[in-house]
Amino acid sequence: MPERIKSHGLAVAIMTAVCVAVIPAVALARKPQPPAPAMQCLFNDSHFHLTNYVQQGTDMGKYVDEIMGDKICRSTVFGIPLQQTWSYGNSGDFAPTYYLQSDAPLYYYSFTDAWIATQYLKLKPEQRQRLDPMITGFNPADMYAADHIRRVLETFPGVFSGIGEFTIHKEFVSSKVAGEIASLTDPALDRILDFAGEVGLAVILHSDIDMPFAKAGAEPVFLKQMKDLLRRHPQTTIIWAHIGLGRVVHPVQGQATVEAAERNPTYRDLVEAMASDPTLSHVYFDISWDEVAKYAVSSPEAIRNTAAMLSKNPDRFLFGTDNVAPADQATQLRVFNMWDPIWALMTPEAMHMVRIGNYERIFDAARVRVRAWEKTNVN
């Protein structure tokens, strides 16, 4: 690892350990930001899957040394909690590796957490320092899910910084999951977020803002439930994956009734209202996935609007790739490069916060808090 990256990470770790013992999630959004230093890498990756839907993936050591290299300082790392069933009756000799390749169900695969932890513990200390592993192998509709998270922390202390990406509503996925379907109103989810807040785990939560192929002009069907959930957990640092967007869950273009409470005329206004809401100051927005980039750069107007949205609240957004088991660095950087027209319109300070600074602030704090909880609670 380049000396400049190593020294930068060490300085951040020392400052965090000295200045922060336990940082409430709500305080993260309010912490004053220093002027942006010169960028020493392109970005920190807030959203990265090491394995795919059949638990195949990239070697973790190769990911750090060759794929991250000197382009990505730090990265989250997690598997995918859902395993695609290979049903011979459905696809015959064709072995599906993605959820769109089969009508057979998906099921929760808890071993993904042990796999991630085992790979992480094989790394050299300097490699580990660049990664933030996440727990994701739990069913968010199960009241025992929080107990699974606790057991993972007890079994692999010193490894994990957060939970996720895990899914509540997701186009084409939720209906394929075997068993009870997850919900934003399920007490099991509240129990998960309560425990994450207690421990200090950062949370990456995927839940679409709307149903697929929603009627134009209607309020996003899951928006109110999502806000209510977030407001119930003010002490938990929550990152909303993809800001609720998907392949066919597109940015809201308009609302049916402007007089209704908390309804906004455009998607940009909706997100900016959430970012400026003091009851949601513990919430951050992940702009990962090439599908999100597709919307962001779809037109000159979209580019200007997206750059303005990020620049207005630069302390609330995190860049990530949402790549799954990439084979090489060029593949890993493809999503990042899609954002070039937007980066060109942002100030260096705002760009640094979205690409590097917010990640460091959130995950440095998570490391400190989780290690402190483990020291007290793990024998």
Tell me the per-residue pLDDT of 348-370, one tens digit each, with 9 for 90 and over.
Answer: 999 999 999 999 999 999 999 99
H or E stretch at 134: strand 131-135
Mark the ranges of the chain whose per-residue pLDDT is less than 70: 1-39, 214, 217, 253-265
CATH topology of domain 43-377: TIM Barrel (3.20.20)
Q: Are 129 and 73 in contact (CB under 8 A)?
A: no
Q: How many CA atoms lie less than 13 Å away from 102 in the CB half-sphere?
A: 24
Helices (H), the chain: 3-19, 25-28, 60-62, 88-91, 111-121, 125-128, 145-155, 187-199, 223-231, 267-276, 290-296, 300-312, 329-338, 340-343, 348-352, 358-377
106-108 vs 82-84, strand pairing mode = antiparallel
CA distance 90 to 345: 49
At 233 the pLDDT is 98
pLDDT in tens, 250-292: 787 654 443 443 444 588 999 999 999 999 999 999 999 999 9
CA distance 12 to 52: 32
Q: Where are the chain's structural domains?
A: 43-377
Helices 358-377 and 3-19 cross at an angle (nearest 10°) of 60
Q: Are 77 and 60 in contact (CB under 8 A)?
A: yes
